[in-house]
Each structure stands twice: as C-alpha cells, then as structure tokens.
Chains A and B, each alone.
Chain A
Amino acid sequence: MLSKRIIPCLDIKNGQTVKGVKFLEIQEVGDPVELGALYAQQGADELVFLDITATHEGRKTFVDLVKRIARNINIPFTVGGGISELSDADALLNAGADKISVNSSAVRNPQLINDLAKNFGSQFVVAAIDAKLKQADDWIVTVNGGRIPTDKRLFSWAKECEERGAGEILFTSMDHDGVKTGFANEALAKLSDSLSIPIIASGGAGAMEHFKDVFTIGKADAGLAASIFHFKEIGIPDLKAYLNKEGISVRM
C-alpha cells in the first residue's frame, strides 16, 4: 500500500536553514545538508528545500548547496524559490534535484508550468500555492511569501496547475502557517477530491494528531512541516510510530 509521506521543509537563506513564523521573523537553525541527512536517517520520506535568498550571489550558493544535498542524501528532494525560467530549473535539476517547486512565478506566468512539464516531465514539477482564507471557502492565492494577494482563487488555480502539467500541489494555508493548531483540512479535502494529482499539505502542524487528521479528514497524500521538526518538538520516528498505531500507512 502506498504510504502517506512526512516531509520536513527547510527554508534556506545564504546557505543556512532558517524558519520563519508566518513568513517573517527569521531565525537560523543549522546546516541544511546535516539537517537533511539527519531527517532522512530518521525516516523522513522526502525533503523540501526552499531558497528564500533574493540576491544573485545567494542563488549561486543555493545551486552549490543542491549539489551537496544530492551527493549526501539518499531520499528524494524538492527545491524551490526563485525559479522563474526554464534555465533556473535546468540548473537545479543538473545539480541533482528530483523535483522543483514554483510559486509566485507561476502565478505571474502560468505558461511556466506547461514549459517545465514539457521539458522535464510532470513528475519534476510541484506547484506551490500559498493561500489565505477570505471568507467561508473563499481562498485567495497570495504571492511573495504571503504578502501580496492576487486575483486567483485556490481551487480554480490548483485545477489550472494540474491541467498545465504540474505533478503535485503543495498547498500552504497562510492562516494556519506557524500557528500550530492543525492543517487546513477542509480545504485540503476539497482539493484532494477535485484533483487527480497528489496533494502536499503545509501550514499548521503542531502536534502528532494534526498529521493523523490531515491524512484522514484532509485526505492529503503528504504532510509538510518545518519548525516542529527543527526545534525537536516532534521526532519523526515517534510521529511515524504514532501514525502506524492509528492505522495510517507509513514507511517505518
């Protein structure tokens, strides 16, 4: 049986792992390769590395970092942040990334998803969507780390991403991110029911029960979290043992 995936996410700034709360107040938490290798050894199913560096020098550092990650880590990993053209994706794939994620750049230029899927295959393309709840069931897609609202809506944009060739959707609820009260399960379930590609849930993990809920109520295929792993609030082996006991299929 296909397992539900647990995915630690590492935000990278100038080659170091950081974790923001609601995308602000950035704190450093360590070396990404060491941390990633540790998570892999502990049973993480995949890793996501998001480059939040905006500068050109930081970009080069990130590509070098991806090479180091690829050499040292034996599970699949996705990289994202600042990919706005095919050549950005090409550099990261050549450095050894298994998948790339696109967010703001795809909102601005949706054709990017088609181009990436056509050139590298859908399995390489994760469409990351940050959305904010405006009112009941009305989720506004935001860009630039949640700072700028757009005229796109979550469900229609996610469907469009799928149709354009995205292989997975990574949905972050800006209302849940960093507040640790659980994932946006209702919206996640609706996404999962309306799409035929896997959904990665992000934003809101604070307790082991939240993962159980996101896989059952939220019908997600994967659960992504950062701070609870970085700050050792939840250990991956404990989380997997708990989910297994709760009857959820996980890789032990």
Chain B
Amino acid sequence: MNKNKVYSSYSGLRTSDSQVIVIIKYNAGNIRSVLNALNRLGYDAEISADPEVIRNADKVIFPGVGEASTTMEYLRRTKLDELIVSLKQPVLGICLGMQLMCSSSEEGNVSCLNIFDEKVIKFQLPVGNEENIKIPHMGWNTIFDVNSQLFDASLEGEHVYFVHSYYVALGADTAATTNYIVDYSSALQKDNFYATQFHPEKSGSVGERILSNFLKL
C-alpha cells in the first residue's frame, strides 16, 4: 500500500472514510488523472493490477484511453478480463473502460467483456455534413434522461467532457443520453457495473459530483 503513503500529506484527505478504492492498472492512459481527481475529492486510491487487491476493494475504477483491440488483448493476456467480469462491488468504467465492458467493438473488430449486451460502433458523418461535424466527438456536451445512482436529478442537462470516435447506441442499460450526430448512451448501468463514455475526472465540478455519487454507493 505504498501509494497511500505517497499521498498521505495531501491536504483534505478523507481519513474518516476507510473504503478502499482501487484503480485497475493496465496499458492505458489517464490512470493518473483519475487518481488526481479522487485526491481532489479527498479520497485516496491504489493503482493496482493485483487480482487480490482488486477483488478486495470496496470500489473499483476501470479507466481508459487507448485502442480497443490492443487493450483487450492485454486484458486477456493478464487475465484481468475474467477478473473484471467476476467483480461484485461497484465498478466504474470510464471512456474506453466503458467500451470494453460492452459485447464487442468495431475498433479493431474485437469481442469485449460482454457485461453490457451492446456493440460499440463508429460514428458516421451525416451525408453532406453541412454542419461541419467533426470526428472524434471532442469537447463538452450535455447529458440527459439520467437514470442511475451515478446521477442525481440536478445533473440532468449538465455538461461533461468527451473524447471518442466510437459510441454505444441507446439500449436497456442506458443510464444517460447524449446527442452527437445521433442520440447515444453516454452512461450505462447494469447491476454493480457503472460506466461513462465521458471523462468525469476531467469534467470540472459536474464530474466531481458524479465521481462522488459513485464513491457513496
């Protein structure tokens, strides 16, 4: 638990909250950003790939920036794939993390963890593209029809930060909707598995409220 020591001097660290938060360590970017965001909220977390540590955590965060097929290959090689689907505590997938929790992704045509029975598909520009729409969907956009404990009602219509070229259509597990070219799932939830396409760790105070809601589950 060296990580806890590193941040023991962090001001505002919540010592009264003894829950153990683990961020899954794998070959993806932005893991440090998630830890920084938790620290700003007064929580500490451990970054780990140790199955024992992950299994015993109170909360697990599965972040991700990267490419789907190479990342899935890594998860299979390290057996993190089997571990993640077997988890019983609240799990939060972020961005690529969310996409990998679906059944398959068009990015590298790869089958994924199949926690959510949804395919990840690539955005297609509208014919003519008169509005000059760009891919990736990059920047701040709104979430609506929120329906999950991740979101309180006050988050309806708020802006969060996105960077992605692939998306999940609306379906049974949709927990929030965003419009970009089409209405699609900007968050998913099924049982103990929560996921956001956007980056709560980069979404200002709105993102902090969403992370807080997850940590209070």
Contact = CB atoms under 8 A, between A and B. Distances in A.
A75 B138 contact: no
A121 B68 CA distance: 12
Interface string B200-215: 0111110110000000
Contacts of A75: 161, 202-204
Interface in B108-145: 125, 132, 134-142
Interface residues of A, number: 33
Given A3-B159, A76-B202, A123-B65, A251 B33 contact: no
Contacts of A219: 132
Nearest 8 pairs of A and B residues by beta carbon = A251-B159, A3-B140, A251-B140, A123-B163, A76-B202, A2-B141, A71-B36, A198-B134
B66 A121 contact: yes
B94 to A, nearest CB: 13
Interface in A133-155: none
A1 B139 contact: no
A2 B134 CA distance: 10
B142 A192 contact: no
A244 interface: no
A223 interface: no
Contact of A74 (B37, B135, B138, B163): B37
Interface residues of B, number: 35
Interface stretch (A53-61, A80-88, A92-100, A172-180): A92-100
Q: Which of A2, A93, A192 has the most CB of B within 10 A?
A: A2
Interface string B143-174: 00000000000000001010100000000000
Contacts of A96: 32-33, 36
A121 B65 contact: yes
